[in-house]
Structure 1
């Protein structure tokens, strides 16, 4: 499996902070940061699959899988920093910066007006979360569940 970019941990934290992860018995639905799509993450023992583009096309765990791992407690959530990740439209940032994830993260810190000391602490937590996730022995696969498109006002 290819390692996920660190930026996907930031996106996963936002999904958790916004309550965009709906857990079921053997699958979860993760709503995108722009609220236009709902991804299906399926899990059974140590196998996880998702129908987000990163997982299907780039062959690494996209943020929906990381968000589910956070919700399941397989990776620790640092609740004290969740509020910084609320209401971040990562889709918009990633598009604006042409998927240069580091530029998108820099813009996130700037838009949220996060003080340098707090930024350093958040960056450290994201690194630790990333390392913890990478240490898990998962089988990651894409799935072909139909993406659920969310209409305005629904």
Structure 2
């Protein structure tokens, strides 16, 4: 099945761009970033920038919160073939125009890759592009709820994501 990512969520106040790979099935169905209730992204962003409060219920409020916090959201992949939600199932990925977005938003100082697939696709397609190379590139553990050898849940991922507070 061919799936397509969403438009970027960004404004001129954003100083970091968080790039996923491709939204999962629940997010694609709802047409909302990180909408699988088990995904940790919104809880991590609110823990970092919202004084620990719980994420807003309304999606529009979550997006406004991200923008007020200087965080833009997008994906490295514009479209691909994929069954389900796993990055390992992604085939024939076509990238989003990350350099073009960065040129339009020069205040973005850091590119934060949410997981290995995001970083791999970004560097494969744009690793040598001046718009990408002129920003700090940071790989963070995926906010996917799937446990890995190094990251079992929210708390251990959040500890690493706290690095963003130094930007």
Higher relative contact order (CA closer than 8 Å, sequence separation 6+): 1
TM-score by length of 1: 0.27
Higher helix residue share: 1
